[in-house]
Amino acid sequence: MIAIGSDHGGFELKTAVKRLLDERGLTYEDCGTDNGDSVDYPDFAEVVARGVAQGEYDRGILICGTGIGMAIAANKVAGVRAAPVNDPDSARLAREHNDANVLALGGRTLDPLVAERILDVWLETPFAGGRHARRVAKIEPGGGGTAKAEPR
C-alpha cells in the first residue's frame, strides 16, 4: 500500500496522482490535506514518513510546491529515503541506487504528464542492490556512514 500526502501547493497534483494510482489498480491511503487551504507541509510529511518507516505502507508519495520541503521533512524520520524528483531519469536512479521509499513531487513545478511518467518509472524500478546496498546501509540509523575521504 502507498501513503500519499500533500500540502496546499501539492493538492491539485495529488488529485491527479490519485487518479493515476486508481487507473493502475494500486491501493493507497490519502493522508491529507483535503483541499487547497494553506497548511504546514511538515505535518503531512511526518504522517507519511512515519507510516513508511513503521512498515504500515510500502512506499510514500509527498507533494508540495516543489517537493523539496516535503523531502527534507520526511528524511528526518529514521528509515525514510525521500527523493525530490523532477524527471523520469532521477526517479529511476532514486530507486535503483538509493532505494528511495518516498517520492517527493512539486505541484507547482511539474506538468501532470511528466509527473505521470515519473510515477510510473519510480513504481516500476527495483533497487539494484550490490554496491548500492552498501551505500544505502551507511545512511541508515547506526549504519556507520562516517566519511572516509580525506578533506581537500
Q: Which of the residues 8, 31, 64, 132 is marked catalytic?
A: 64
Is 97 labeled as catalytic in the residue annotation? Answer: yes
> CA 2, CA 104: separation in Å to the nearest integer?
13
Has 132 been annotated as catalytic? no
Please give the Cα distance from 52 to 59 (Å, whole number): 6
Residue 62 CA from chain centroid, whole number? 6
Q: Which of 8, 31, 97, 132 is catalytic?
A: 97
Nearest to 14 by CA among 29, 1, 25: 29
The answer for residues whose C-beta is within 8 angstroms of residue 47's C-beta and 6 or more apart is 3, 5, 31, 32
Q: Which residues are catalytic?
A: 64, 97
